[in-house]
Chain A
């Protein structure tokens, strides 16, 4: 099984700040990495797939990068609606896949 580790588990930031979240896989997953945003009481929403491709309708302030085992999600110029929990998801052995533990982006 591939284990996904996210860091930090939480981060405090202000509107307008840039935030970077890291996801590390326990073994190489090439490009098979996605990011989701989840708000309390809501289903996750797909933001980025294949490491860096933006899902339709997602603002360009969200970007992803990485390869192999280390990946990042960057939110440039945080907006009020961006305060949420973010999860990475690997799919190296799709249809089997797994998620990271989540990073909560809180208002400073």
Chain B
């Protein structure tokens, strides 16, 4: 059974860089028909797509975050990562990694989520 697990610091200082890694077990990152993505949910607010990556190296980002986001993949380690630069309090959220099925355009598997707080 596929499992995704987020890891990284739970506290980031304003203007710093938020870095998270998602480790996938029970499956391969090279599976066709799937993207690997990051989403977030600020406290009490709606879910927001951050960006996605394909095993070929192609990446896609939310236009509202594009200037600050980088997603990279390491298929040999079964990991993909998120870097978000110049963070502010508005970036405080639960961050999820997810497996996205391309043919039906949905997130079929999710990590448990990790709370990242931006504060000094």
Nearest-CB residue, chain A, relative to B100: A95
Residues of B within 8 A of A (CB): 35, 37, 46-49, 52, 60, 62-63, 96, 100-102, 104-108, 110-113
Nearest-CB residue, chain A, relative to B52: A95
Interface segment, one of A12-20, A62-70, A73-81, A99-107 = A99-107
- The residue that B46 contacts in the complex, of A46, A49, A96, A101, with Cβ under 8 A, is A101
Bound-complex Cα distance A97 to B63 (A): 11
Nearest-CB residue, chain A, relative to B62: A96
* Distance of A45 from chain B, by nearest CB (Å): 8
Interface centre among B47, B96, B100, B105, by most chain A C-beta atoms within 10 angstroms, is: B105
Contact of A95 with B46 in the complex, beta carbons under 8 Å:
no
* In the complex, A44 has a CB within 8 A of chain B: yes
Contact of B102 with A43 in the complex, beta carbons under 8 Å:
no
Contact of A34 with B46 in the complex, beta carbons under 8 Å:
no
Residues of B within 8 A of A34 (CB): 104-106
Residues of A within 8 A of B104 (CB): 34, 49-50, 53
Interface centre among B100, B107, B108, B111, by most chain A C-beta atoms within 10 angstroms, is: B107
